[in-house]
Amino acid sequence: MATWKNTARTLCGVLVVAIITTGPARAQNDTAKAPNAPGVQAKKPTITTDTGKPIGDDRDSTTAGPEGPALLQDFYLLEKLARFDRERIPERVVHARGVGIHGEFVATADASRWTKAAFLSAAGKTTPVFARFSTVVLPKGSADTARDVRGFAVKFYTEEGNYDLVGNDIPIFFIRDAIRFPDLVHSLKPSPVTNVQEPNRYFDFFGAAPESTHMMTFLFSDQGTPASFREMDGFGVNAFKWVNAGSDVHYVKYRWKSAQGVKAFTDDEAREVGGMEPAYCTKDMYDAVTSRKFPSWELQVQLVPAAELRSKFDFDPLDATKDWPESIVPFRPIGKMTLNRMPDNFFQETEQIAFNTGAYVPGIEPSEDKLLQGRNFSYSDTQRHRLGPNYQQLPVNQPKDGPVRNVNQDGLDNHAHTRGDINYEPSVRDPQAGQVDARYKNPAVPLGDSSTQEPIKDPQDFKQAGDRIRAMSPLDRDHMLHNFSVEFKKVKDRKVLVRFVSNLYRADADFGAKLAGAAGVAVDEVKMLAADARK
């Protein structure tokens, strides 16, 4: 604990020193810029407007005489203010606060027997990547040590286009159907009345969403407060499909295994460190990479042949609230990611990087996971809202190898070089027009013969949650009990606590009874509600 305190105090001390020294440094720079200052050896480049017009004075507005008002004709004044007014773009609804890093992924195995994805076709094959780590619910100005899920997103710039593996530091999720995602996030966001995040709201939602019980055992354990972005594992969360050159299909789940190990703060440590340095995890990553202590992760996969998927498990394997037990499907290592370069400009890259769960390459496809199906729309749609319809043309989002060929044109911030009037296809008029390639056609997927709007047949909302609770050490269970109790004190409505605790009671009666005591509600009342819910 002392180590974290000392590190955080050091960070704050560095910040204070930087603030104190800013004034004199500016004065020295002003002197150096004076046209006739002694010791000036070379002429410095001239400041210009965005259109390239040289500027003679960047500190005084053009006015109607010395005492008069500023003039509308001062284009440079207007440009500086207008650009300043538009410096910010809409904040991400989720994953608003994050840190991004460049790096590389090296395949350590030939995965071509399972997937025709080129970047996984040979051991030693190297692919540039950009990774972004984030908190999920909290806004940009929040402490990145706070209790929250951590986003773990990686963009692979492959020779067949960009592939985005967008996941979290927890192997499962709160819900199994995307139709509940807006409600989940709304319950976790600040109240529309008070603008304060309130446990009364999100425990109310989770109590009515029993499928979230498994996730609660992760979020309210110490795993909900990782010690750093470097010292946590990552997961793809959803199941995906790998398809090989022979159109054989395997279902796949991903895990990033941290070479730095996994470390977490206790609830008290997270609050103390975050209070002294809200950007603790962000600065930790910058310090590690800039000091050449490059963090790395091993990419591992679980693979199940399509024909065996339903018979392999006693639960729905495409339910994102469940993980696939390693005892049934072991992980296979397929590659290693090393992060080694921080962005030159935070806004241009980390803020404008756009991840989409629907960005696949040949050989990787979405599964029928209902949560993933909704994510594939929502992620790209939010990027179009934040960055405009041509967000893929931003340098950080562009494919690195090969041109982008399609007939998309126009829209905000279109920087593509289009020629001629062929913005439709097919056409025989343009000899350079692209054409489709049957090798990349998606294989047929068997579907039901009718539509339905029903829940999955066997949800099993509590089994894996109970197994996890019982597998914890007594100390970890005590920490989780403490973490829940801290938030329970803020809940105003007793009915919310009874219903929420009843879900944990159904997962593990002993822990549920202790949780009822921490919540100040009667165990008999919790037990009765849990029994009624089973019917």
Active site residues: 95, 168
Strand duo 240-243 + 296-305: pairing: unpaired
> Token match 């354990």: residue?
221
Say how many residues make up the chain.
Answer: 535
Distance between CA atoms of 317 and 311, rounded to whole angstroms? 10
User: What is the Cα–Cα distance from 347 to 462, expressed in whole angstroms?
Assistant: 42
State both tokens at 244.
Answer: 């090989």
Run of H or E residues at 217: helix 213-219
How far, in Å, are 383, 388, 413, 425, 433 from residue 407 at the CA level? 20, 17, 16, 7, 9
- What distance in Å separates the CA atoms of residue 443 and residue 446, rounded to the nearest whole number? 10
Tokens of 246: 């022979």
Dihedral, CA of residue 255, residue 256, residue 260 and residue 266, to nearest 10: -60
**Backbone φ, ψ for residue 88 (5° rounding):** -100, 145
Round to whole Å and give the CA distance between 491 and 201. Answer: 8
CA-based Rg of the chain, rounded to a whole angstrom?
Answer: 27
CA distance 145 to 193: 26
The alpha carbon torsion through 142, 224, 171, 96 (nearest 10 deg) reads 0
Q: In the numeric block, which tokens belong to residue 449?
A: 């013969």
